[in-house]
Structure 1
Amino acid sequence: MKIFAPILLLLLAFASCKKPQSFEYRDLRNFKIDSLGFQNSSISMDLVYFNPNNFGVDLKHIDCDVYVEHNYLGKYILDTTMHIAKKSEFVVPSKMNVNMKNLFKNTLTSLFTKELLLEVKGTTKVGKGGIYITVPFSYSGRHEFSIF
């Protein structure tokens, strides 16, 4: 019975926890082209999110694919641990290599429209107290973009 009491208490604590809400995308800042090439280019930016939860978490790893107008743009990987406070905005520094061949597919579309469809699909590891879980995520939204 002494063995089951702590396990039962732990199960009750987990059962009473509210399901965490997803981070909310807020803004893109400091967009910069680091290197420009015919095959590949490198870009960097700061992505701003908001944690709507009443608890902080640690973000350990992000691995995702980025698409513009359904065309693969590149892979983004963040392999560092960040602490995210409860009910607060946070910035994810982002750097990715872009396949220029796929970017050129979107050039004609970009010239004639003010909005582009941006899609991000991948996984992230989040946790607390050294216990992490892999969480899949998907984002799709139209964003204003102008080359002029």
Structure 2
Amino acid sequence: MKIITPVLLLMLLTLSCKKPQSFEYRDLKNFKIDSLGFAKSNISMDLVYFNPNNFGVDLRHVDCDIYIDHNYLGKYVLDTTMHITKKSEFAIPSKMQIDMKNLFKNTFNTLISNEVLLEAKGNTRVGKGGIFITVPFSYSGRHSFSMFK
């Protein structure tokens, strides 16, 4: 009986802990160019996501590579802890340094099509109750973009 009780308790804890689902990308807001240079530029924005989980989670770390039309744009790293409530939208304030030579590769195509393929590939650390796991994510989507708005 002494052995069965801890095993049953461990099984119950394992079944009750559900792996968090990936966040759903919703929108990009407050896009701003902080500094503009020939080699590197700094931008900031708020990335809006939705937490589809039936429980709140803590977001500890984000590390991803950003691509525009399959060309590497830059690396995004967020190293802070945020609490995200269940079934809710949330915004992540983001700053990023971009490589201008790779951005210029996309300028002609963007002027012609007014649409870009935005991709983000990386990992995030999410958890609850002090237990964190690494969740890989990959986002790809077409976005309207006009240089003359």
Which TM-score bucket, shorter chain as reference?
over 0.9
Residue 40 (structure 1) aligned with residue 40 (structure 2): yes
Q: Per-residue deviation at 1:12?
A: 2.5
TM-score with structure 2 setting the length: 0.93
Q: How many residues align?
A: 148
Residue 56 (structure 1) aligned with residue 60 (structure 2): no
Q: CA RMSD in A?
A: 1.4
The gaps in structure 2 that reach 5 residues or longer are none
Q: Per-residue deviation at 1:72?
A: 0.1
Q: Per-residue deviation at 1:43?
A: 0.3
Letter in 1 for 2:35: S
CA deviation map 1:37-91 (0-9, x unaligned): 0000000000111111110000000000000000000000000000000011111
User: Percent of counterpart pairs with the same letter?
Assistant: 76
Residue 72 (structure 1) aligned with residue 76 (structure 2): no
Residue 94 (structure 1) aligned with residue 99 (structure 2): no
Between stretches 4-13 and 53-62, larger displacement belongs to 4-13
Q: Per-residue deviation at 1:143?
A: 0.6
The gaps in structure 1 that reach 5 residues or longer are none
TM-score with structure 1 setting the length: 0.94
Cα pair distance change 1:4/1:36, threshold 3 Å: farther
What CA distance in whole angstroms lies between the structure 1 residues aligned with 2:142 and 2:45?
18
What CA distance in whole angstroms lies between the structure 1 residues aligned with 2:12 and 2:135?
23
